[in-house]
Structure 1
Amino acid sequence: MPNEQFLATQETRRSGLKALRAALLQVHKEVIGHDRAQYERLNGPIPAGLFVQLVTEDNYFRWLDPLSRLIIEIDEELEAKEHHDDTCRAVGRAAEKLFSDGADPGFRKRYQEALQDESGVIVAHGRLMSVIGQLRQLP
């Protein structure tokens, strides 16, 4: 039977992963909203049913793939019964790297444009950076 410290550590990691996932999802939502507006300015209105298909298939939205993959990685980790230090740290580092100066240049350029143009992206980014900072302090 696991000891109380192990269970507390597991819950702390799980909470951290959930907070990171929520912050990344908010950034994703805000950036997609920004991109949709930009795309519609260039191509006209997108019917609701077609938008999901465009996000997953159109090259205009491909730059979001690293963010989408990171969210999927966190989902997979949250499905596990135990959360390991190395995995949690790796996910945290991946999130930090994705939003740093060392990020993929294509992602970084488009993300910076969204940050400059959309207040919702700025707010979501601030929350994400706060969560990443808290994760760095986990045991």
Structure 2
Amino acid sequence: MSSTHPPLDIRFQRLREVRAALLRLHKRLLDSEREGYEQSHGRIRSNGEFLRLVLEDEWFSWLRPFSQFIVKIDEALSPKESITLQKADELLKEASSLLTPSEEGSDREQRYYRAIQRDPDIAFMHAQISRLLATES
């Protein structure tokens, strides 16, 4: 981004930081869910089988919005796209909404809440992203 648009530069950089943190969180969430799945259903034999389960099995369905959102950010940051300040703000707001755990909310919010409660790494990563999203420009 050009330095002639400081607010956009700041949002663009924050969006990149959120994306990187979200990738790390998503990986840990997948690993955590895999551990739980294997405790309930037995060992997953291959990465191909794991990918199929992530894409198709109900156990992992709550994580699909995270995957889809990462792709959405990638598309917005693509050189083919011309990201606007409004689009960057919308994506940051959507990230905040996606990363809202709730003990009594939607299935995704509840499962995310439980993941944060059971795994200190997930709790730490959630806190990091929350700080990024709360940062004022």
TM-score range, shorter chain: 0.7 to 0.9
- TM-score of the aligned structures, taking structure 1 as reference length: 0.85
Shift of 1:133: 1.2
Structure 1 residue 100: deviation in Å? 2.5
State the alpha-carbon separation in 2 of the partners of residues 127 and 28 from structure 1. Answer: 13
Please give the root-mean-square deviation of Cα atoms over the aligned residues, in Å: 2.2
Identity of aligned residues (%): 27
- List, as ranges, runs of 4+ consecutive aligned residues in structure 1 with deviation greater than 3 Å: 8-11, 101-104
The C-alpha deviation readout for 1:103-135, integer Å capped at 9, x for no partner, is: 96011111011111111101110111011112x
Aligned to 1:46: 44
- Specify every segment of 5 or more residues in structure 2 that has no aligned partner in the other structure, as ranges: none
Q: Which residue of 1 aligns with 2:92?
A: 92
Change (3 A) 1:53 1:9: same
Q: Quick check: 1:98–1:104 contact (8 Å CA) kept in 2? A: no
Q: AA paired with 1:60?
A: W
Name the CA distance, whole Å, in 2 between partners of 1:64 and 1:113: 13
Amino acid at match of 2:132: V
Q: How does 1:1-139 map to 2 (within 5 A)?
A: 4-6=3-5, 8-49=6-47, 50-80=49-79, 82-100=82-100, 105-134=106-135, 137-138=136-137
